[in-house]
Structure formats: structure tokens, C-alpha cells
Structure 1
Amino acid sequence: MLDDIGFTFFSRPVADKFVAFCEQIKVRARIQFEETFSGESAYQVELLNTIDEALLEQLEECYSELLFGEEAANIEGNDEQGALADACGVQVQLQSGQFTTVAIEPEIMNKILSVLSIDELQSFLAQVAEDIENPKSGPICSRKPDNTI
């Protein structure tokens, strides 16, 4: 079971849609207003009850759709050629069960997402977190392959 999970949005109406989705699947959530390091408004949707992996998967799918769809369309500076953003990130679960958001420059994120899916990127970052939290010694060629990515 998972707890202490949050999702960040940059517009209140999109955060409200995510909370409505949470309610549809019987997950209680609340919105907390925050200010980003650049002074922009942010809305952190905090889940109020413990969820399982299946619910997390549904929530992440909805979050991705809203973030890369409606949220991206709301960012100032967007035009017919696509969305422009000054911040983006990917959530990764740490060994403790806590989640952290890895900030990625938008230009780099666009390059990464041109060859990887969101799930592949999250798997990659989860493996990086795993190897940082549990350092491994010896040559990489002598390690057992991890086929999770």
C-alpha cells in the first residue's frame, strides 16, 4: 500500500479535474496552493488515503493525460507548434515508499520523450534511484541484468 503521494499542476481548473477523477475512483484528495521557485502558482494534489499499485497506475495515467494535454495547452507562450514550458518533472518512488519529483529541463524532456514513453522514463529513473540508494560494486558487465526497463 502506498501513501504520501502528490501530483503537481500549474492551473487550478486542471487540478480540480484531477481531484474529480480521484473522487470517481474513490480516492480522497485535496488541493494545496504552493508557489514555485520562479514565483509561479502551483497546485499540489495530495491523496488523503492509502492506495494500491493498481490505483496508482490509474492516477498516473490520468495525471499524464492532464499534464501533457490540458496543462500543456494552458502554459503561456504555447502556439500551434506545441507547448512551451519552463519546468517539468517525473515522479519516482524511493525505497522508503516516499515519492520525489525529478526536475528535468523542458528541452531535454522533449528529447527524452521523443524516444521513450513516460513509463520507460519512470522505469529508468526508478533504476537510477535504486542504484543510488543501494550502491553496487564491481564491473557492470558482471552484474545480473535487470530487465525492468
Structure 2
Amino acid sequence: MNEVLEYLFFTSTIADKFASTLQDNGLEYIREIEPMQGATLLKIAEGVDEDLWDTLDELYDDLSTEDQALLEEGLVDEDAKSTAGIYLQLSEGRQTIAQIDPDVMNRMLSVITMDEFNAFIETIVRNVETPDDSAICQRKPN
């Protein structure tokens, strides 16, 4: 698969539901276990019909909510501390999670969208991986 769409699930039950829909629609997929979190990653080729892609996107949104609820049910622990992390995809293919203060994360997401937050993080990762020592006023906007 050259260009792929990736769908991440934290519970195998929900990943199986999504995989079943992929099979029902005749889509081939690759199933991987994400090494950092042990989550299930389903990958399909990017050339999916637009209507089907919209259907899959809506299903993924619905299943993600269910997935999160199941995950939280399994993680109920009175002594547990609240944590948050940012999933980072590095240029050479490595993946990592940066742990951050959950209160800071909640405050940020109360004033910006998740897309804006992701764009911000991608800019930081890109600039760390390929630093530019020129003056900020001389750089082209990203």
C-alpha cells in the first residue's frame, strides 16, 4: 500500500466492528498492533470511493466514542492519576507519546480545535527534526 488511511482503536472489540465493515465493503486492510500503546491500527488504501470514505469516517467517529467509553471502563482505578499524552509521528517513521499535564491539555483544547492543536504539534515536530537557524522574520510561513 502506497498511501494509506489509518484508523486507531484502543479496544479489539471496536476494532473488530470496524474491520467487519471494511470486509463487508470489499476493502482489503492491514491490521497492526501499535507498539507504544498496544492499540489496534487498521490501514486501508487511500483510493476509497468518496461516499464510502464519508460512511467510514462517520462510523469511525461513532466507534471512537464507544471505544473510548470501553477503554475508560477498563481503566477505572480509584488510585489512578489523571494523565494525558500527545501522539507524535516522527519523520523517519518512529512514533512516540509525549506526556503532558492533563489540566494544560484541557485548557488548550477549550480554546482551540483539535485540528489547530494537531497542526501546532506537527509544526513543532517538523522544526525540531529539521531546524532552521535563520532569523524568524526571514523564513517563509508554514
Give the TM-score, by structure 1 length. Answer: 0.57
Aligned length, in residue pairs:
130
Query: What CA distance in whole angstroms lies between the structure 2 residues aligned with 1:101 and 1:61?
Result: 27
Structure 1: unaligned runs, 5 residues or longer: 37-41, 79-83
Q: Tell me the residue number matched to 1:126.
A: 122
State the percentage of identical aligned residues.
26
User: Do the aligned partners of 2:83 and 2:99 also contact (CA within 8 Å) in 1?
Assistant: no
Q: What pairs up with 1:43-54 in 2 under 5 angstroms?
A: 43-47=39-43, 50-51=45-46
Larger radius of gyration: 2
Q: Tell me the residue number matched to 1:2.
A: 3
Question: What do the CA deviations read for 1:98-127 (whole angstroms, capped 9, x no partner)?
Answer: 363544444433223222222222222221
Query: What CA distance in whole angstroms lies between the structure 2 residues aligned with 1:127 and 1:61?
Result: 28
Q: Tell me the residue number matched to 1:100.
A: 95
User: Do the aligned partners of 2:88 and 2:97 also contact (CA within 8 Å) in 1?
Assistant: yes
3-state SS of paired residue (2:17): helix
Higher helix share: 2
1:140 aligns with 2:136: yes
Q: How many Å apart are 1:136 and its aligned residue?
A: 0.4
Question: What do the CA deviations read for 1:44-94 (whole angstroms, capped 9, x no partner)?
Answer: 2242x5436999x86777655544x2223220349xxxxx964544354x4
Q: Name the amino acid aligned to 1:110.
A: N
1:90 aligns with 2:69: no
User: Do the aligned partners of 1:34 and 1:44 also contact (CA within 8 Å) in 2?
Assistant: no
Query: What CA distance in whole angstroms lies between the structure 1 residues aligned with 2:136 and 2:83?
Result: 36
3-state SS of paired residue (2:95): strand
Question: What do the CA deviations read for 1:114-143 (whole angstroms, capped 9, x no partner)?
Answer: 222222222222211211221101222222
Query: What CA distance in whole angstroms lies between the structure 2 residues aligned with 1:126 and 1:54?
Result: 28
Q: State the Cα RMSD in Å.
A: 4.1
Distance 1:137 1:35, change over 3 A: closer
Distance 1:19 1:86, change over 3 A: farther
Q: Tell me the residue number matched to 2:29.
A: 28
Q: Name the amino acid aligned to 1:19.
A: A
User: Do the aligned partners of 2:87 and 2:96 also contact (CA within 8 Å) in 1?
Assistant: yes
